[in-house]
A = this chain, B = another copy of it.
Amino acid sequence: MSSYSPSETAEKSGFSIDTLRYYEKIGLLDGIARNASGRRVFTDDDLGWLGMLRCLRETGMPIAEMLRYSELARGGEETFGERLELLEEHDRRVEAQIRLLRAQQKKIKSKISFYGGPSGE
């Protein structure tokens, strides 16, 4: 088994069918195959790419930048350098985001113990 209907793909990728269509429309998904009656047929490769997109989205990358990354990905090995740069930049932002979350979480926890949280009261 290596080809998937839109609904299977939605389930496996975690994106809704509407989002899959939207992503194809704006160019995040390229060359999605169609069967004889015009329906989308997703491959394992497509699922792999969707996994990458999901990773980028969930770490807060804006669609516009994912689009940039997609364009680079279409450019073949020549764009490895640029893709590397883009991901490293993003990785730094993710790192900063985690740091911020941790710092703010500390404040929340201290507020919790102020209100008499676990092992407080």
Contacts and interface: CB of A to CB of B under 8 A. Distances in A.
A58 B98 contact: no
A5 interface: no
A40 interface: no
Interface in A80-121: 80-81, 83-84, 87-88, 90-91, 94-95, 97-98, 100-102, 104-105, 107-109, 111-112, 115-117
A108 B84 contact: no
User: Is the contact region of chain A dominated by helix, strand, or loop, or is it mixed?
Assistant: helix
A101 B55 CA distance: 9
A59 interface: yes
Contacts of A100: 58
A112 B59 CA distance: 15
A58 to B, nearest CB: 5
B117 A84 contact: yes
